[in-house]
Structure 1
């Protein structure tokens, strides 16, 4: 792909059963289950706008565009290599005219004034505030906050939302309390908590947190989703990951 060095550009993968083609970085974390699950939390009208904060190569917003007719994406990414890759992936899928990638740091207050109001806002933020940082810089940026905390990410999502919009983040289950606190600090509440269990009977490995402009509304723990059974995915997980299941049902589960 143009604009990427051979060391930066990696293989092309398929998401949503081939509906999305995604060129991944040669090094670092690869977009996969988290990106598809996060995109499945987005419920908005056809033609709506989704903000993807820390978009990486674009896996989340591309899955949203594949699922919602005419949807548009505004994506924020501070790494210029990943920002270029996100633009290339938008073009690879034929959606370059529906995507704007902004190179900026989410903690920059001036960024909030630049962004349009979004019908939905999503982020898969760096989730560990410290500890042992991976040696590959692009991987470290995806997993370790590096001075930009969850509150910064939540603040950008909250500031971007149009009336009636919802913001969703995906985190390790161990950061559930921090995530809810960050959303509340951004004026968001009524948080719906969707646990993702590796297998039936296991502790949740990931949680999706979706909130709205209702900071005093209580949180709700949803039924959640079991991901694996036997050697493969559960039918419910398969429906989301390959079938493109849309949104969260009234009962709280990701559903077609």
Structure 2
């Protein structure tokens, strides 16, 4: 793909830049929220499943520079872009071009402190396929959601943290896919505006922890009740994440 077919997009107020296809699946706010929700500390190992162009990994690395990062991406174009974006950001990110269900030995043989992921939001049954292959795989891939959860659980070390973002209607499916190996589950609903239903949720779970389930207060993205309201814009805590790269404060440590 020629550079004329790509865009060079800014994230975190210009602290992170990434090449993405002009047409096809394009990373947005979701990846930034995902990275902000990962409670990583310096020196830890982080795996991103379905890393795409690696925007989430790059945003996490911007906040916590001393991490060992690995990404898995099945689409060759996006895997290549992830490597390019990491190299241009001087970020050490190992990208495995692989299906989740056939991970290479260098990934299978490692345990991670964190696994983060943004699985496809839709199922094949939910609608017709996209004409753009990259968008189609990203929005409704062939791998089942319970397989994503299983792969993530296997790759976590005891005490490791799973962090994911997903559409709220798939919350029951996500919870059903999690077994007794994961506990201390926290769900943070994400709503576009006050008075509106949550469209997304962020979830954290800890391998081997038995703490009770927690439903956190909804994160409201915008200040105004409607687009164009006076003073509309991102809420201050969201602005701190999206523009300044701060950690998301909606979870309980």
TM-score by length of 1: 0.88
- State the shift of 1:216 in Å: 5.6
Q: In the aligned structure 2, how far is the partner of 1:109 from the partner of 1:67? A: 28
Q: Is the 8 A contact 2:198 2:218 kept in 1?
A: no
Q: In the aligned structure 2, how far is the partner of 1:239 from the partner of 1:43? A: 16
Residue 170 of structure 1 corresponds to 165
Q: In the aligned structure 2, how far is the partner of 1:157 from the partner of 1:173? A: 20
Residue 149 of structure 1 corresponds to 144
Residue 134 of structure 1 corresponds to 130
Matched, 1:121 2:122: no
Matched, 1:14 2:7: no
Q: Summarize the Cα distance change of 1:178–1:237 in structure 2 as closer, same or farther, 3 Å threshold.
A: same
Structure 2: which 5+ residue stretches go unaligned?
A: 225-231
Q: Count residues with an aligned counterpart.
A: 244
Q: Is the 8 A contact 1:184 1:215 kept in 2?
A: no
Q: Summarize the Cα distance change of 1:121–1:70 in structure 2 as closer, same or farther, 3 Å threshold.
A: same
- State the shift of 1:213 in Å: 1.4
Q: In the aligned structure 1, how far is the partner of 2:11 from the partner of 2:216? A: 25
Residue 207 of structure 2 corresponds to 213
Q: In the aligned structure 1, how far is the partner of 2:209 from the partner of 2:177? A: 11
- State the shift of 1:210 in Å: 0.9
Residue 84 of structure 1 corresponds to 80
- State the shift of 1:145 in Å: 2.7
Matched, 1:242 2:243: yes
Q: In the aligned structure 2, how far is the partner of 1:249 from the partner of 1:196? A: 10
Structure 1: which 5+ residue stretches go unaligned?
A: none
Which deviates more from structure 2 when the two are superposed, residues 135-144 or residues 227-236? 227-236
Residue 23 of structure 1 corresponds to 19
- State the shift of 1:183 in Å: 2.6
TM-score by length of 2: 0.89
Residue 194 of structure 2 corresponds to 200
Which deviates more from structure 2 when the two are superposed, residues 224-233 or residues 86-95? 224-233
Residue 100 of structure 2 corresponds to 106
> Cα RMSD over matched residues?
2.1
User: Deviations 1:173-225 (Å, cap 9, x if unpaired)?
Assistant: 1111111122337x322211001110001000100011111476432101131
